[in-house]
């Protein structure tokens, strides 16, 4: 770590740690039930991002001897549960979750003074932004996202 982390970094890292461990569980479940190959690929990318974000936050906490939070684990999800959600719902859900991620990561970018923590938030933000755009494009191309109203200016 180039510098120590500041007190505000703890909740700003704790929250995405918890969110990413939850996302990992949800991604694993979704990948077991999704039938649409395009949505499957998006969830594979989401699983990669959530796993990498969790690993990186764990490294940051370890480097400053901060206890690793007890996040969500495989014990918290039944991967063999019957299908609960349609592929379309899962796509919409992931799209909404990227919005929350973008909000949290942008907060982290603007409040930390530690270069390593700042870089984590920048990387996480970029990953969430890419996922946001992919889910949005997929919803639009599949007709799940209605066109926005247009106003004609005469």
- What span, in angstroms and rounded, lies between the C-alpha atoms of 27 and 56? 18
* pLDDT surpassing 70 at residue 147: no
> How far is it, in rounded angstroms, from Cα 127 to Cα 23?
14
pLDDT in tens, 54-100: 999 999 999 999 999 999 999 999 999 999 999 999 999 999 999 99
In this prediction the pTM is: 0.91
Residue 148 has what pLDDT? 65
How many Å apart are CA 122 and CA 150, to the nearest integer? 34
Dihedral pair phi/psi, residue 86, rounded to 5°: -75, 160
Query: What confidence tens digit (pLDDT) does each residue in 94-145 have?
Result: 999 999 999 999 999 999 989 999 999 999 999 999 999 999 999 999 988 8
């Amino acid at each position: 770590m180039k510098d120590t982390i500041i007190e505000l970094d703890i909740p700003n890292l704790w929250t995405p740690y918890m969110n990413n461990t939850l996302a990992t569980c949800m991604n694993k479940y979704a990948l077991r039930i999704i039938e649409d190959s395009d949505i499957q690929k998006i969830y594979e990318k989401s699983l990669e991002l959530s796993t990498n974000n969790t690993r990186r936050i764990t490294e940051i906490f370890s480097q400053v001897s901060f206890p690793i939070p007890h996040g969500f684990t495989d014990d918290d999800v039944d991967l063999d549960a019957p299908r609960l959600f349609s592929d379309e719902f899962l796509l919409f859900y992931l799209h909404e979750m990227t919005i929350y991620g973008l909000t949290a990561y942008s907060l982290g970018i603007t409040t930390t003074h530690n270069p390593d923590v700042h870089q984590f938030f920048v990387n996480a933000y970029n990953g969430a932004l890419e996922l946001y755009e992919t889910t949005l494009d997929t919803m639009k191309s599949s007709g799940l996202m209605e066109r926005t109203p247009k106003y004609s200016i005469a």
